[in-house]
Structure 1
Amino acid sequence: MDQDLERAALVALMRRGDRSWPDLTDQIESVGSAREVLDSALDASGQGALFDTGPAVDLEAVADEIAAWEREGMRLVTILDKDYPFYLRLVHQRPPFLFLRGTPIEDEARVAVVGTRTPTPEGVAHARAVAGGLAERGVTVVSGLAAGIDTAAHGATLAVGGRTVAVVGTGLRRAYPAQNAQLQREIAERGLVISQFWPDSPPSKASFPMRNAVMSGYSLATVVIEAAFRSGARMQARLALEHGRRVFLMRSLMTHEWAREYASRPNTTVIDGPEDVFRQLDSLVPSTGELTWA
């Protein structure tokens, strides 16, 4: 199987825009070849089968475009690639591909630290303490590069020389918010930035919930510092529970009805501070199983 043409076929399928991402991902994984799925789609639409009647889609040109992205420092990893993140592969919302900028991260101990864009000083302090403490213990800290709690988590991790991953809601050629452009560059230099969107994609109402689903699937646990009901952090906590991942909620969140309801579910722990997370780290990391970088 020509991996370059397989990636090109997957990109071509995505650009058709006639299938939902989960459906397309399921079919490609089931068939085991994006080129075969594309061939069937072209044949069904009357455009001519890719292999039988000549290239209705110029896969060589798409492959050249992918190569140009990679020369720019954006590596494309598809659902058919062995280095697609293993834990993300297990969730329904997994995207067909990811763009990666930065250094491969070769551990399975990844914990997301998330929260509001408008935190209290106490919330910022908690985020820094949790993220910094996790990083000092060799855990990769994952967050979404948003203002507020996310920024505090990434910054605290970098400050102690730890590993951090930013899962962003835009393409890799963009930074959101704009004031975090330098932080995004620093994370790419010292950690990893992940996007499931085309390189020039702007932020949108749809992109951030999709980003939260990927962040949850990519991480073994999610720590929510501060979050209102209508927030991506609350949504990520819900998704993490659906994904069978551990969720840690700061006790200050118990003023919210949503947090009290989540706290009653299995796999949820209410914490008073960073030490409550640290004490449970060993139980988060599987002792066996396939591991992957990214």
Structure 2
Amino acid sequence: MDHDDLMHENSALIALLRTCEHPDTWASIANDCVLEGSAERLLQHKIDPSRNPLQHDGVDADDAQGVLLGDIGLSFGQIEKLKTARTVAARDLEMWREHGLDFVSVFDPRFPERLRATIDVPPFLFASGSLKADDLGVSVVGSRHCTPEGVSFAVDCAHMLVKRGLTVIAGLAKGIDTFAHQTALNDGGRTVAFIGTGIDRQYPAENRGLQQEIEERGLVLSQFWPGSQPTRQSFPMRNALMSGYGVATIIADAGEHSGTRIQARQAQRHGRPIIINHMVLDKARWACDLADRPGVYVVDNVKDVGCALDRIFLVNDNVDGLIKTVLAEEPAKV
């Protein structure tokens, strides 16, 4: 896909998102885009389903009903709304580019591969820093109101991840996130920050300098429009992306009501392993509930974390090898 084609896809995607109405959601639009491979085809199909069929296999219930009833597409007003949204989107893309804001859609080859494969892939990201589509990292997360023991554990884990050549992923919040990011930078490693605001905002204010340093030496990612302020919903949403971006999540410190439990829940949905500091089980019932589930490791120290990661990567390598073997095999002759 060349630059012009990508811009067409991006403007069509933004138009679909900005005119999204129930039962569609951003998540369903993003998943449809990944399946179809084109927002442009989805947009034209929305305008006139009979003249613009989709290319992917299968027809959903709404499409089937439309065919049976002779669906002729949207009303004139709805079509004009989509066209206007498309025009505005193209203008916004150019404005963002002029202001140095990097819009990375699911169609962009730079989009993180592991995140694209999740069930709730975001339709786009704004990036500031060095993008690596095949980035290999681990989240280090925990409470803003962390204990000295939790800080020590997070710092030890960040040291270990950098030594292994892995990216340290965190959410740029106070507490554990800050220590994880800063340790990675101090060690000369790579760190990626997912933020709960627009890419042009700094939150919390005391981490403004840290965010700028990560932008210069690592990567900051946002799934929100530029200018977006932090909300109660935005931080759980960014936790879901952190889970999907990394190969595993390390929970260094957390209490019963910590937002960290949201990332643990998302990691389970994504099929991502979770490594829990044993002391978290003494403070959080949800951690105890997780402890006996598949893919969850309870550890006492950073050496245990390293052993857990070794097992995780071994399993991943075995699965990848099996998939490649199956795909390489010729179909059985009947």
Counterpart residue number, 2:76: 47
**Letter matched to residue 21 of structure 1:** W
Is the aligned partner of 1:186 residue 2:219?
Answer: no
**1:30 maps to which residue?**
35
Residue 279 (1) aligns with residue 284 (2): no
The answer to whether residue 146 in structure 2 is matched with residue 119 in structure 1 is yes
* 1:91 aligned counterpart, secondary structure: coil
CA contact (8 A) 1:102 1:187 kept: yes
8 A Cα contact 1:48 1:56, kept in partner: no
CA distance, structure 2, for counterparts of residue 104 and residue 54 of structure 1: 34
For 1:47, give the aligned amino acid: F
Question: Based on CA coordinates, which of the two structures has the bigger radius of gyration?
Answer: 2
Residue in 2 aligned with 1:230? 257
* Whole-Å separation in 1 of the counterparts to 2:27 and 2:92: 24
Q: Is the Cα contact below 8 Å between 2:112 and 2:135 reproduced in 1?
A: no
Cα distance, 1:49 vs structure 2:
8.7
Residue 262 of structure 2 corresponds to residue 257 of structure 1: no
1:175 to 198, 202, 217: 202
Q: Secondary structure at the match of 1:249?
A: strand
2:64 alignment partner in structure 1: none
Question: Residues 9, 110 of structure 1: CA spacing in aligned structure 2 closer, same or farther, 3 A cutoff?
Answer: same
What displacement does 1:123 show? 1.2
Match of 1:210 in 2: 237
Equivalent residues of 1:129, 1:274 under 8 A apart: yes
- Once the two structures are TM-superposed, the CA of residue 68 in structure 1 deviates from its matched residue by 2.9
Deviation, structure 1 residue 42? 4.5
Structure 1 residues 231-277: Cα deviation after superposition (integer angstroms, max 9, x where no partner): 22111112112211110000101112211110110101111111111
Partner of 1:219: 246
| Distance (Å, rounded) in 2 between the aligned partners of 1:242 and 1:266 | 12
User: What is the rounded CA distance, in whole Å, between the counterparts of 1:168 and 1:54 in structure 2?
Assistant: 31
Distance, in Å, in 2 between the alignment partners of 1:250 and 1:118 is 16
State how far apart, in whole Å, the 1-side matches of 2:114 and 2:195 are: 18
Give ranges in structure 1 of 5+ residues lacking alignment: none
- Secondary structure of the equivalent of 1:209? helix
> Per-residue deviation at 1:9?
1.0
- Whole-Å Cα distance in 2 between the matches of residues 85 and 36 of structure 1? 23
Whether the aligned pair in 2 keeps the contact of 1:221 and 1:247 (CA below 8 Å) is yes
- Residue 304 of structure 2 aligns with an amino acid whose one-letter code is D
State whether residues 123 and 149 of structure 1, in contact with CA within 8 Å, keep that contact through their aligned partners in structure 2.
Answer: yes
Counterpart in the other structure of 1:12: 15
SS of residue in 2 equivalent to 1:230? coil
Deviation of residue 106 (structure 1)? 6.1
Match of 2:327 in 1: none
Q: What is the SS of the residue equivalent to 2:249?
A: strand
User: In the alignment, which of 132, 138, 142 is matched to residue 159 of structure 2?
Assistant: 132
Q: Which residue of the partner structure matches residue 159 of structure 1?
A: 186
Superposition deviation, residue 58 in structure 1: 6.3
Given that residues 14 and 89 in structure 2 are in contact (C-alpha distance below 8 angstroms), is that contact kept between their aligned partners in structure 1? yes
Secondary structure in structure 1 of the residue aligned to 2:103: strand
Distance 1:132 1:74, change over 3 A: farther
1:73 deviation in Å? 3.1
Aligned residue in 1 for 2:328: none
Task: Confirm or deny: 8 A CA contact 1:9 1:38 kept in the other structure.
Answer: yes
Which structure features the higher share of helix residues?
2
**Equivalence for 2:272:** 245
Contact kept in structure 2, 1:105 and 1:191, CA below 8 Å? no
Aligned to 2:53: none
Q: Matched residue of 2:139: which SS?
A: strand
Deviation for aligned residue 1:55: 8.0
- Which runs of structure 2 are paired with 1:27-106 in the superposition (5 Å)? 27-42=32-47, 44-47=73-76, 56-57=83-84, 59=86, 61-105=88-132
Over the aligned positions, Cα root-mean-square deviation in angstroms equals: 2.3
Contact 2:167 / 2:191 at 8 angstroms: preserved in 1?
A: yes
Identical residues among aligned pairs (%): 43
Greater length-normalized contact order (CA 8 Å, ≥ 6 residues apart)? 1
TM-score normalised by length of structure 1: 0.90
The alignment partner of 1:225 has SS state of strand
- 2:191 and 2:43 mapped to 1: Cα distance? 36
